[in-house]
Structure 1
Amino acid sequence: MILHDEIENLFRTVPLLAAVPRGQWRVTHLGGITNRSYRLQSTGLDLVLRWPGASASRYLDRSAEPANARAVADLGLAPRVLAAEPAQGWYITAYETGARPLGSADFAQREILAEAIGLLTRLHRAAIRFPFQQGLFQAIDLYLDLAPTPRMLDLRQRLDPVRSSLARHPLPLSPCHIDPNPANFLRCADGRLQLIDWEFAAMEEPLWDLAAITMDAEKAAHEDLISAVIGAAQMPRFELYKTSLNLVAASWCEAEIVAGNDSPELVALRDQRILRLEQRLADPHHVIWLQQA
């Protein structure tokens, strides 16, 4: 596979890659909605190159991702970083042979969901600090600035009571993944669970990550798992995070679509998240969560 000139140049300038003639590298595209990831294979070497996509550069500072990934790898929560260039935002990790990404069906299994919650809790309690800080409405408003469509602006206005409620009693910030969708969890061949893709990682309330991995799960299936981590008193706040993350996802999709990203997943995900947001706003418990958060 012949790659973009900037990526091809890595085979000449990065010692890890330049030690092997270009013709002896086998390159496989691994996909991704906003990034370009490649598996690089040669004799005795099996690597993954994460190269930043163009559209996401409008709302992400890629310079922090390699350092984020390296800090988390040092905790044993992510693949080891072998080479990186923060200025360009790319990095290379070891390829986890035999690993598979999780899917939505995996998170429907209570024991796997509990394991994912445990992994995220280890991250949240780690003595590391990511350079950026995230916030629900900070993210939503950033995406709306890029794609201020009437439907998204209306939904943002309807979430104003949530913003006000959450602002009353903020929790301490912790290192968070910010995008813990099932595909970013890898089940390694030896049974370990790891997290990949750290471009959104930032300091935030742990509720963001915990709400993100339970957005589509029935409350009864995970309430005790979450409550055991954050305490029963924070459950209303957790529920408001779940509600708001639907607009985070929908507005992100809209920004990508407006920018020309033609991934077929984006429209379906946007519409799914809008529907789910409408359902949660209509839930009779929503008013109670607003009062108790």
Structure 2
Amino acid sequence: MLSILNDWEQWPFCAEQPRPEHIRPLPGGLTNQCFLLQLDGGQYVLRLEGHNSQALDINRDAEFRIHRLLASKGLTPTIRYRAPQQHYWIRDYIPGRTLQPQDLTLPRLQNMALQLRQIHQLPTPADIPVLSIGDKAAHYWDSIAAQTNHSPLLDLRPLLQSRLQGAPDARRTLCHMDPTPANWIETADGKLVLLDWEYAALGHPLWDLAALLQQTTLSPPEEAQLLHSYGVSNPQHWQFAQAQMRYLAALWYRAQGYWSDEELLPVLRSL
């Protein structure tokens, strides 16, 4: 961290060298490490990229381009500096609280879904990668196979890869792909800000909605109301998108070592 603080002269917003007491860790973050940087000119977030970007198939240049696009629309904090070595950046700090699963009430979810739809309606940049569920899952499967030889688990790969490839239909939009509660900040005035764009890509808009609802406890009528307000009219497409997102999420947790083979197996069998 001291070597990063020594870069201060390259930061256009910094007038004097920050001291170690000016920085403290921020909670959360399964992929990256974030720190609150307190300077005379304001508060910033210094984000260190995770060392497992390649293992997780994260394109950091694409993430940076997408983040800048969304920041230009006022939908995510502005990045003030990116290190030439590309291993950290500094962005504006947004005071507020990180959402928890219990915060996902229907009114709040409706606001979150509206914000996602706003993102989905943006013009599609030409230099943004297209997400393939099959390719992303194959990357995670390869990582899992390097960690285990558990045959009942690995034997599911061909069937699930065949069953869950593709997309609900031909639509493609800019998608966040990980709009879970931990990636949302709610400010004191109720504004919702979506962070952490490392998995963003051109994808199907229902993938974002399915990922958003993964940790909710909505009743069937509440879910139907939310889907209606978002404009979901094909239940088969919705169910397929849900299965695809459960598939990717489960593989990610095992590839990262957060789940065991025994925890992953019943989830995959349910798909």
> Same fold judged by TM-score > 0.5?
yes
SS at match of 1:267: coil
Residues 211 and 241, structure 1, Cα contact 8 Å, conserved in 2: yes
TM-superposed CA distance for 1:196, in Å, is 0.4
Match for residue 113 of structure 1?
109
Verify: 1:139 aligned to 2:136, yes or no.
yes
- 264, 267, 276: which one pairs with 2:259? 267
**One-letter amino acid of the structure 2 residue matched with residue 156 of structure 1:** R
Deviation of 1:224 (Å):
2.8
Aligned pair partner of 2:119 in 120, 123, 130: 123
CA distance in structure 2 between the aligned counterparts of 1:214 and 1:86, rounded to whole angstroms: 37
Identity %: 28
- Contact 2:119/2:175, CA 8 A, preserved across alignment: yes
Aligned equivalent of 1:13? 10
Which secondary structure does the structure 2 equivalent of 1:34 belong to? coil
C-alpha deviation, 1:55, in angstroms:
1.4
Query: How far off its partner does 1:277 sit?
Result: 4.6
| TM-superposition CA deviations, 1:90-120 (whole Å, max 9, x none) | 32211112x111111112x110111111110
Once the two structures are TM-superposed, the CA of residue 274 in structure 1 deviates from its matched residue by 5.2
Give me the whole-angstrom Cα distance separating, in 2, the residues matched to 1:159 and 1:135: 14
Work out whether residues 250 and 271 of structure 1, in 8 Å CA contact, stay in contact via their aligned partners in 2: no
Residues in 1 aligned to 2:175 and 2:77: alpha-carbon distance in whole angstroms: 17
Please give the secondary structure, in 1, of the residue aligned with 2:135.
Answer: helix
Give the direction of change, closer, same or farther, for the CA distance of 1:221–1:153 in structure 2 (3 Å limit). Answer: farther
Aligned to 2:33: 36
Alignment-mate amino acid for residue 63 of structure 2: E
Distance change (3 Å), C-alpha of 1:85 and 1:203: farther
Gaps of 5+ in 2: none
Q: Are residues 25 and 43 of structure 1, via their aligned partners in 2, closer, same or farther at CA, if it must alter by over 3 Å?
A: farther
Structure 2 match to 1:153: 154
Find the counterpart in structure 1 of residue 211 from structure 2.
212
State the SS of the aligned residue for 1:246: helix
**CA RMSD, 1 decimal:** 2.5
Do the aligned partners of residues 132 and 86 (structure 1) sit closer, same or farther apart at CA in structure 2, a change above 3 Å counting?
A: farther
- Deviation of residue 160 (structure 1)? 4.3
| TM-score of the two chains, using structure 1 as the length reference | 0.80
Report if aligned partners of 2:106, 2:226 keep a CA contact under 8 Å in 1.
no
TM-score by length of 2: 0.85
Q: Identify the structure with the greater helix proportion.
A: 1
Q: Is the Cα–Cα contact under 8 Å of residues 98 and 184 in structure 2 kept in the other structure? A: yes
In 2, the alpha carbon distance for the partners of 1:24 and 1:278 equals 49
Equivalent residue pairs, number:
262
**Aligned equivalents of 1:153 and 1:24: distance in 2?**
47
User: 1:34 and 1:24, CA in 2 relative to 1: closer, same or farther beyond 3 A?
Assistant: closer
